[in-house]
């Protein structure tokens, strides 16, 4: 069987199996994301039947999946809404870094891995997975919720912070001089500012490039622009996700609505590939020795991320149910965490960092979509109501 034929067979069988898993998840009312991850584990490195012929194809597809997830999120909001949300959440961004980066750094130091590994593990535990969070919000029908702009602002702040963090980490890993590190950082910041300026100031001009009543032309144009900007952003050590998100923000009016309609099927396809590829690239055998430390770290930082989302939503004036939804929605870590761990290991910092990060991310990615559903359960709603009633009763008694 030729390589092309084998690729077609593997991809076809995989997509068919994923369709059945998605239907199974829908039947039992659970997110299909954990099922896709487990399917990736089963057919990845160290799995039952590795998909060797299609691995490169799926890797590219997974990159496109993250880009489309963030671009589609950007289409949901205007530039003014983004600015207002970022201004409201800047304090929440600082709280986010303190609550979620510091536990990772402390954990690495406790394990005796040294300061550079501590900086790397801090990044692993800090940043939520934009791709997973976007998929969960879409699956649960929360894109229009009042707390969603707050969630997105936290994600955008984290992704923008990566434009500073990744060059800094790379400089530490390679032991580059101060001048080289500063130059890389300045280039990244300039690229972010240019993309942000074009998105906010010239969004209407960008929208005029596309014809909303020609679906084929619109699909090709918006997809091409999104991939182009994401690639240029990544080349400058800026998150491709940030570039894609800002392209979505830049499009407005009927063009944005039409683009959302034509891109949705592509987003669903490639987002699924993203989650499967994450599992494919994970060796289950490497996870076993670091499973307990990863579970401990996940338990700590899932809790701190819930607190982060709750406080961010509270500062934005969101009601108590929305605060909990924001907190639980942010718990999954993902693509950035794996990238950070890969950079550290390739530089020879700490061999166990990669399997620990992989196990940690896998735990949070599986737990995240499940935890995001908790605020919608009747038992949780009743507990929130009882707590609110008790607080009001205490305030009345004190008054």
The ranges assigned to domains in the chain are 25-385
DSSP line for 346-373: HTTS-TTHHHHHHHHHHHHHHHHHHHTT
Question: Phi, psi at residue 320, to the nearest 5°?
Answer: -60, -45
The kind and range of the H/E element at 377 are: none
Partners of residue 333 on adjacent β-strands: 128
Instruction: Measure CA of the first residue to CA of the last residue in the chain; give whole Å.
Output: 80
Q: Which pLDDT value is given to residue 54? A: 78
Question: C-alpha angle with apex 279: 278 to 285, nearest 5 degrees?
Answer: 125
Across 372-399, average pLDDT = 82
Top-confidence residue, 229 or 29: 229
Residues 176/237, Cβ–Cβ less than 8 Å: no
Residue 186 has pLDDT above 70, yes or no: yes
Q: Which pLDDT value is given to residue 364? A: 92
Q: Which pLDDT value is given to residue 7? A: 85
Angle, in degrees to the nearest 10, between helices 115-126 and 148-174? 160
pLDDT in tens, 297-341: 999 999 999 999 999 999 888 999 999 999 999 999 876 787 777
Q: From CA 116, how far away is CA 121, in angstroms rounded?
A: 9
pLDDT in tens, 169-184: 766 776 655 566 667 6
Q: Which pLDDT value is given to residue 374? A: 92
Query: Which has the minimum average pLDDT: 157-161, 215-219, 234-238?
Result: 234-238
Q: Which pLDDT value is given to residue 102? A: 94
Q: Is 333 helix (H, G, I), strand (E, B) or coil?
A: strand
**Helix (DSSP H) and strand (DSSP E) numbers for the chain:** 18, 0
pLDDT band at 239 (very low <50, low <70, confident <90, very high): low
pLDDT band at 108 (very low <50, low <70, confident <90, very high): very high
Query: 135: phi > 0 → left, psi -120 to 50 → alpha, else beta; which?
Result: alpha
Residues 249/79, Cβ–Cβ less than 8 Å: yes
Q: Which of 303, 241, 310, 332 is closest to 89 using CA atoms?
A: 310
Q: Which pLDDT value is given to residue 31? A: 67
Residue 253 has pLDDT above 80, yes or no: no
Highest-scoring range by mean pLDDT, 159-173, 185-199, 270-284, 304-318: 304-318
Q: Burial, 397: exposed, middle or buried (Cβ in 10 Å; 0-12, 13-18, 19+)?
A: exposed
Q: Burial, 387: exposed, middle or buried (Cβ in 10 Å; 0-12, 13-18, 19+)?
A: exposed
pLDDT in tens, 41-87: 788 766 677 777 777 888 888 888 878 877 887 787 676 666 776 67
DSSP line for 200-245: HHSHHHHHTTS-TT-HHHHHHHHHHHHHHHHHHHHHTTS-HHHHHH
Q: From CA 298, how far away is CA 174, in angstroms rounded?
A: 29
Residues 122/102, Cβ–Cβ less than 8 Å: yes
This prediction's pTM: 0.71
Question: C-alpha angle with apex 72: 206 to 149, nearest 5 degrees?
Answer: 100
Residue 277 has pLDDT above 70, yes or no: yes
Q: Which pLDDT value is given to residue 110? A: 93
Q: Which CATH architecture has domain 25-385?
A: Up-down Bundle (1.20)
Top-confidence residue, 374 or 398: 374
Residue with tokens 């400089």: 171
């Amino acid at each position: 069987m030729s390589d092309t034929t084998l690729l077609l067979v593997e991809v076809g069988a995989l997509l068919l199996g994923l369709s059945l898993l998605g239907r199974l998840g829908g039947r039992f009312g659970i997110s299909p994301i954990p099922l896709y991850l487990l399917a990736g584990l089963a057919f990845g490195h160290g799995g039952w039947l590795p998909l060797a012929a299609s691995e490169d194809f799926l890797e590219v597809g997974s990159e496109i999946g993250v880009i489309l997830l963030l671009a589609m999120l950007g289409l949901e909001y205007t530039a003014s809404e983004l600015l207002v949300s970022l201004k409201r959440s800047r304090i929440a961004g600082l709280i986010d870094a303190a609550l979620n980066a510091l536990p990772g750094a402390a954990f690495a130091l406790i394990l005796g891995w040294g300061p550079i590994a501590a900086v790397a593990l801090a990044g692993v535990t800090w940043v939520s997975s934009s791709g997973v969070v976007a998929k969960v919000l879409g699956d649960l029908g929360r894109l229009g919720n009042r707390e969603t702009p707050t969630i997105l602002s936290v994600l955008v702040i984290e992704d923008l912070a990566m434009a500073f963090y990744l060059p800094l980490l790379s400089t530490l890993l390679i032991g580059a001089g101060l001048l080289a590190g500063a130059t890389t950082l300045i280039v990244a910041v300039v690229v972010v500012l240019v993309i942000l300026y074009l998105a906010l100031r010239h969004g209407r001009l960008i929208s005029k490039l596309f014809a909303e009543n020609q679906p084929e032309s619109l699909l090709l144009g918006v997809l091409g622009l999104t991939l182009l900007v994401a690639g240029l952003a990544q080349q400058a050590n800026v998150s491709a996700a940030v570039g894609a998100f800002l392209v979505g923000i830049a499009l407005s009016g009927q063009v944005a609505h039409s683009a959302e309609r034509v891109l949705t099927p592509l987003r669903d396809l490639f987002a699924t590939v993203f989650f499967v590829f994450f599992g494919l690239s994970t060796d289950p055998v490497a996870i076993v020795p670091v499973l307990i430390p990863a579970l401990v770290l996940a338990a700590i930082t899932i809790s701190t991320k819930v607190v982060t989302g709750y406080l961010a939503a509270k500062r934005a004036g969101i009601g108590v149910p929305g605060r909990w939804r924001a907190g639980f929605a942010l718990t999954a870590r993902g693509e950035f965490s794996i990238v950070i761990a890969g950079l550290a290991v390739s530089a020879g910092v700490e061999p166990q960092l990669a399997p620990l990060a992989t196990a940690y991310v896998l735990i949070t990615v599986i737990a995240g979509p499940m935890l995001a559903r908790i605020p919608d359960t009747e038992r949780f709603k009743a507990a929130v109501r009882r707590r609110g009633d008790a607080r009001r009763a205490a305030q009345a008694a004190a008054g």
